[in-house]
């Protein structure tokens, strides 16, 4: 049976793993390779590296840490940040990334999703969506890596999800900004709404603070994976304990 995935997210800035609260005030939490291997050893199912400065600074070169991570890791990983062209995506895949994730560049030029899935197949194209709950209306924001450059996109999240799937996204990471870094639980209502219309794997992001939050998001929102950062980086939750608890509650996980 397919298991639910536990995915530590490593925000990368200038080659180091960092974490901020609601995308601001980043603090250093460690070396990329050290953290990647630690999470692999603890039983992470997959890793996501978000180069959070990339979109903002207009960088497209494949960073050398992608190759280093691929050489060392025997679990899949996804690379996000600043990928605006088929060539930039190809460089990261050639360096050994299993998937690439795009966010702001897809909002600026949605055809990029079609071009990427045509070139490399839907299975390695992830679209990240930063979504803000405005009451019961969910809105997409872009360029969230830097508070000064953050933009309204005028897009509604549910419309954008359907659009990106039609264009060839193979997976969606839904980052619920209201919940990011505050550890009060995933945005179950929003994730349920997106799950209803999303035919590709859906990954929840933003808000994990306790084991129950993971249990809730798998059982109630039926997501395929749950992404978290600070609770893992700060050892609030140990992945082996989390997975044992999830399995005990009847959720299929890889032990």
Partner 1 sequence: MSLVIVDTGCANLASVQFAFERLGVEPVITDEAEVILKADRVVLPGVGSAPFAMRSIMAKNLKPVLQAIEQPVIGICLGMQLLFESLDEGGEVVQGLGLIPGAITALETTELPTPHMGWNTLKTLQADPLLTDVNDGDYTYFVHSFAAKVSENTLAQTTYGTPFTAVARNENVWGCQFHPERSSKTGAKILQNFLDIKL
Active site residue 11: yes
| Radius of gyration of the chain, Cα coordinates, nearest whole angstrom | 17
Choose between 30 and 76: whose C-beta lies nearer to partner 1.
76
- Contact criterion met (CB below 8 Å) for 116 and 125: yes
**Helix runs in 85-133, H state only:** 86-94, 104-108, 111-120
Nearest approach in angstroms of CB 5 to partner 1 is 5
What gap in Å lies between CA 99 and CA 123, rounded to an integer?
A: 8
Q: How far is the CB of 74 from partner 1 (least distance, A)?
A: 5
Contacts with partner 1, residue ranges (CB under 8 A) = 1-5, 40, 45-46, 67, 70-71, 73-76, 90, 93-99, 118-124, 170-171, 198-202, 224-225, 254
Closest CA to 142 of 134, 133, 132: 132
Nearest-angstrom CA–CA distance, 202 and 19: 23
Catalytic residue among 45, 130, 180, 187: 130
For residue 3, give the nearest of 239, 154, 218, 200 by alpha carbon: 218
CB of 224 to partner 1, least distance (A): 6
Looking at the Cβ atoms of 97 and 177, the one nearer to partner 1 is: 97
Smallest distance from the beta carbon of 165 to partner 1, in angstroms? 10
Task: CB nearer to partner 1: give 47 or 56.
Answer: 47
Query: Which residue's CB is nearer to partner 1, number 180 or number 224?
Result: 224
The number of angstroms, rounded, from the C-alpha of 193 to the middle of its chain's C-alpha atoms is: 18
Whole-angstrom CA distances from 151 to 9, 58, 131, 141, 169 are 23, 16, 12, 6, 22
In the residue annotation, 241 being an active-site residue is answered as no
**Cα(100)–Cα(89) distance, rounded to whole angstroms?**
7
Residues 6+ apart with CB under 8 A from 235: none
Helix (H, G, I), strand (E, B) or coil at 34: helix
Cβ closest to partner 1, residue 168 vs residue 181 = 168
Q: Which of the residues are catalytic? A: 11, 130
């Amino acid at each position: 049976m397919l298991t639910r995935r536990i995915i530590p997210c490593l925000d990368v800035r200038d080659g180091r793993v960092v974490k901020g609260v609601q995308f601001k005030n980043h603090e250093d939490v460690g070396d990329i390779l050290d953290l990647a291997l630690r999470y692999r050893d603890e039983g992470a199912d997959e890793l996501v590296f978000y180069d959070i400065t990339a979109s903002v600074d207009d960088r497209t070169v494949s960073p050398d840490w992608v190759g280093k991570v691929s050489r060392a890791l025997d679990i899949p990983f996804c690379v996000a940040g600043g990928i605006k062209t088929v060539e930039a995506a190809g460089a990261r895949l050639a360096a050994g990334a299993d998937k690439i994730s795009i966010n702001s560049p897809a909002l600026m030029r949605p055809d990029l999703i079609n071009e990427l899935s045509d070139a490399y197949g839907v299975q390695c194209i992830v679209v990240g969506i930063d979504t803000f709950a405005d009451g019961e209306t969910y809105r997409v924001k872009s360029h969230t890596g830097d508070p000064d450059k953050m933009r309204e996109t005028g897009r509604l999240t549910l419309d954008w999800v359907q659009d990106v799937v039609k264009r060839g996204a193979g997976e969606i990471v839904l980052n619920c900004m209201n919940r990011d870094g505050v550890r009060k639980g995933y945005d179950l209502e929003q994730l349920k709404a997106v799950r209803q219309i999303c035919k590709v794997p859906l990954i929840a992001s933003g808000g994990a603070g306790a084991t129950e939050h993971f249990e809730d998001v798998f059982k109630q929102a039926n997501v395929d994976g749950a992404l978290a950062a600070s609770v893992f980086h700060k050892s609030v939750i140990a992945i082996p304990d989390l997975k044992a608890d999830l399995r005990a509650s009847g959720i299929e996980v890889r032990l």
